[in-house]
Structure 1
Amino acid sequence: MLKRRNQLIASLFIFSDLIVTYISLLLAYYLRFHLPTLKALFEIQHIPPLSDFIKWGYMASIGIIWMIVFHFNGLYKAKRGHSMIDEVFSIISSVILSTIILLGIIFFYRKPSYDISRSLIIIFFFLDILFVSAFRVSLRSFLRSLRKKGFNQRNVLVVGAGELGVTFLRILKKHTYLGLQVIGFIDDDETKIGKEIDGVKVLGNLDQTSAIIEELLPDQLYIALPHWAHKRTVQILASVQKECIAIKLIPDLLGYVTLKASVEDLDGLPIINISESPFDGWNGMLKRLMDVILSIVGIIVTLPLSLIISLLIKLTSRGPVFYQQERMGVDGKPFMIYKFRSMVSDAEEKTGPTFAQKNDPRITTIGSFLRRYSIDELPQLLNVLKGDMSLVGPRPERPLFVKQFRDQIPQYMLRHKVKAGMTGWAQIHGLRGSSTSMEKRVEYDIYYIKNWSLKLDVIILLLTLIKFRRLIENAY
């Protein structure tokens, strides 16, 4: 039953991809040869007949190439719980490869009298990415809305009613769009059998698993036993192999997973990464793209202000305009952070490395103003442009202080799994400066890393501007 449903959904996507691709080709033909603007731009003398582009062999070739490439890129696999952004990028890479293959075939088999329009292929390429992505996202959203309403549900049995199994149940209840309905627990704890946990009944013990499966005919079986019950996990896997059911194993890593976990494949051997940065792959590229664009805009917009500040610093105190200081960045790699100098030269010559304090005598007159309004941090836009920092992320600390905090604060070093930022989740909540709790700042930083999205970055940037007055209250 489950396999038939997957095949039905896959068939729906194959059909829709082909239809949308053919529509993209026809629309590209119309835009290239019949849109007045493009006709005038390319000075079209001869319009090839539409029949040249909708020949049976030509259309069949497109269909076969697109289906094969999309299939091997995993676009026809079950995608419940997968990110739509990842799917869009898979579509882009698939269309790129499919178009290259198509161009190769056209070039190899074309007749001397027939020349395909390169501009038409370019238009078709962009239209196909746009339309296929839009249609798939719309279809995925529609399927998710159906699951939220109780349609297209898959019944799930969970082996293990302990912390891991209950956590899994609560996640499914939170994400109803997945369409996974837990119909029962199976557990060896006699005190739980027959009782309900979060509205789901414990149906029996582990020895009754096969009988319960044959009676209820669930679609999927999730094994969520604690790590110390490894032998029982092996026994369950052996006993249910003869059942026609999808079996999935949830590893007991709740006490060990620090960030988002992922599974890597090493020549068939699954390896679980328990502290993977959320900025690997496409996410990192998108975040970096936003950093580059906004930092360039920021540098240009603030250039007049930066020139005025530079002049004031030179006129009011001896020493350089800019101040460089070593900070610890992503993966513990040090980098030099840039600031407008706000203290007297050689401020730490006598005191050594220390945090700035309120009414610190080392701070210059203009430096006090710069620090109060965080203007001294404007040069860090150069750090962002270079790639040392990001616009949003945990604030970087000096290596000397990192050595102190790493032994005092649990999970402190997880902050260095991502790039340091000019502003962050902790900062917009008023947690900045030596007077605030470092433990609390680390807590907020880890929350940001675990829940990161481009949307969250944009929210933090907007709140940084909106809450500017509140942010400067603790700045000195």
Structure 2
Amino acid sequence: MNEESRVPTEPIRATAHTSLSIAASYLLVLTDLIIFVFSFVLAFALIHETFGPGDIHWFAGFNFNPPASTGQSFIWKGMPTPMWNDFYPYVTGILIPLPIIRFLVMSRLQLYRIRGEISLLEDAIETFRGVTIGSILLIVVAFSLGGGRGETQLLTSRRVFPVDWMICMAGCIGSRALFRTAQKGARRAGHNLAPVILVGRGKQAEMIHDEIRNNPVLGYRIVHVVDADGGDPDLEKHLATLPGLIAETGAQEVFFASSKITQKELFPVVMNSGWDVQFKAVPDLLGLRPKKVDITRLSNVPLLEIFVDPLRGANGAMKRVLDLTVALSALVLLAIPMLVIAIWIKIDSKGPAIFKQTRMGLDFRPFPFFKFRSMRTDVDHKRHEEFMKQVIQFGEGKVDEQTGKKIFKEADDPRITRIGKFI
């Protein structure tokens, strides 16, 4: 890999990327803070006993000359005085700690991270966790402080929190979906790409280089390649140039696509490059997809756990809930057509309407598969078995006489029923 011909150095755009990332992060924080406060105010307004269709315009502004009977120096325009009186204690009791609590939780879950790969599903799951944890902490704080309210008024606040949680959830997930969509578009246009230096040679280095070059949505841009590997006689010389290259290009991350570079060789580079630079090593994953591998440890020995289910724990539970919701909804909508098909199958031929079969799924895991029966149960299967032996043994299908193309299933299979040809 030739570093001069493969990748140019672009220090000016690296600086522009840093400024753009900071601005985008601040914009996301500001949007969340507005949603945090607005969701609670709207939730209170929606469930308040005096809130009606004619009072929706109370968000329009202030009335600085209210009737003297209100005892207030100003009130919201159109907002009933009892509602303002009930809401006022929440300002100090809840509205002040509310954005702080939720912001700290969301920051802890790294939901304001601009770098790296974008996944709308993972964003939605992490946002669900963040808003839920923040709402629980908010309830604890509110009921500990009492919000300056008595027991009767606390009954009202209990109704506010679930509505606030739902509004905040919808707002945060929706705003992040819009933000991430805009971020993808910006990355495709060459913006919001973190500058990186790639160190290494061979298949791993080529793979990283091509992946970053072909997928700008990942959020990286290689500004320099150091064509070196462990065992090279000039390795220390190449690594010694890294601190200067980092300062020159404005690189924020360094990828080591080599497992042969030792800790002794890396330590001086890390110590002389500044603490704001991230160093990452590309491990050998045995040809497996990264999402199917997890890093564990045995005492102080790192281990790679292979064939890992990427949807575990909370993510797996969320995926299961989503699957069941979609499946049950589809089952309700398609119940009548499915019943008609089942009756038709029973009338057309003898045998059960539903056929059960064990099939091989992801990572060669067997699972039970249910489908409408499309074949007869009283027909000899030897012809089909001989055909499949030929396909499995030689990898060759039967040549279709009309099209001349190879087919891997029998077009005139006598086992298929009349409705089987339809479904």
Distance across 1 between alignment mates of 2:358 and 2:177: 45
Distance across 2 between alignment mates of 1:321 and 1:76: 52
Distance 1:165 1:120, change over 3 A: same
Instruction: Give unmatched runs, 5+ long, in structure 1.
Output: 190-203, 376-476
1:159/1:222 contact within 8 Å kept:
yes
1:327/1:334 contact within 8 Å kept:
yes
1:148/1:179 contact within 8 Å kept:
no
Asked if residue 98 in structure 1 is aligned to residue 115 in structure 2, the reply is no
Q: Structure 1-normalised TM-score?
A: 0.60
Q: Which residue of 1 aligns with 2:120?
A: 84
Structure 1 or 2, whichever has the larger Rg, is 2
State how 1:176-215 maps to structure 2 within 5 Å: 176-188=216-228, 205-206=238-239, 208-215=241-248
Q: Structure 2-normalised TM-score?
A: 0.67
Distance 1:353 1:295, change over 3 A: farther
Distance 1:54 1:8, change over 3 A: farther
Deviation at 1:66, TM superposition (A): 0.9
State how 1:297-308 maps to structure 2 within 5 Å: 297-308=333-344
Q: Which residue of 1 aligns with 2:66?
A: none
Please tell me the residue identity of whatever aligns with 2:176.
R
1:156/1:180 contact within 8 Å kept:
yes
Q: Which residue of 2 aligns with 1:18?
A: 33
SS in 2 for 1:155: strand
2:196/2:255 contact within 8 Å kept:
yes
State how 1:60-79 maps to structure 2 within 5 Å: 60-79=96-115
Distance across 2 between alignment mates of 1:45 and 1:300: 54
Distance 1:268 1:303, change over 3 A: farther
Please tell me the residue identity of whatever aligns with 2:376.
M
Distance across 1 between alignment mates of 2:44 and 2:134: 18
2:373/2:420 contact within 8 Å kept:
no
Asked if residue 251 in structure 1 is aligned to residue 283 in structure 2, the reply is yes
Distance across 1 between alignment mates of 2:28 and 2:228: 42
Distance across 2 between alignment mates of 1:238 and 1:320: 68
SS in 2 for 1:188: coil
Deviation at 1:222, TM superposition (A): 0.9
Asked if residue 114 in structure 1 is aligned to residue 153 in structure 2, the reply is yes
Instruction: Give unmatched runs, 5+ long, in structure 2.
Output: 1-14, 57-79, 230-236, 389-408
Asked if residue 290 in structure 1 is aligned to residue 323 in structure 2, the reply is no
Question: Structure 1 residues 288-297 or 85-94, which shifts more?
Answer: 288-297
SS in 2 for 1:114: helix
Identity fraction in percent: 19
State how 1:139-218 maps to structure 2 within 5 Å: 139-188=179-228, 205-206=238-239, 208-218=241-251
Asked if residue 372 in structure 1 is aligned to residue 421 in structure 2, the reply is yes
Deviation at 1:158, TM superposition (A): 0.6
SS in 1 for 2:337: helix
Deviation at 1:21, TM superposition (A): 0.9
1:10/1:76 contact within 8 Å kept:
yes
Asked if residue 30 in structure 1 is aligned to residue 45 in structure 2, the reply is yes
2:253/2:280 contact within 8 Å kept:
yes
Q: Which residue of 1 aligns with 2:164?
A: 124
Question: Structure 1 residues 142-151 or 243-252, which shifts more?
Answer: 142-151
Deviation at 1:210, TM superposition (A): 3.9
Please tell me the residue identity of whatever aligns with 1:251.
P
**Root mean square deviation of aligned Cα:** 3.9
Asked if residue 221 in structure 1 is aligned to residue 238 in structure 2, the reply is no
Distance 1:19 1:219, change over 3 A: same
SS in 2 for 1:49: helix
Query: What count of residue pairs does the alignment treat as equivalent?
Result: 342
Question: Structure 1 residues 102-111 or 44-53, which shifts more?
Answer: 44-53
1:70/1:94 contact within 8 Å kept:
yes
1:46-65 superposed Cα distances (whole Å, 9 cap, x missing partner) = 64536425523422221232
Deviation at 1:321, TM superposition (A): 5.1
Deviation at 1:79, TM superposition (A): 4.4
1:263/1:270 contact within 8 Å kept:
no
Distance 1:271 1:35, change over 3 A: farther
Distance 1:119 1:4, change over 3 A: same
SS in 1 for 2:96: helix
Which residue of 373, 377, 387 maps to 1:340?
Answer: 373
State how 1:393-408 maps to structure 2 within 5 Å: none
Distance across 2 between alignment mates of 1:334 and 1:178: 34
Distance across 2 between alignment mates of 1:139 and 1:258: 28
Distance 1:170 1:122, change over 3 A: same
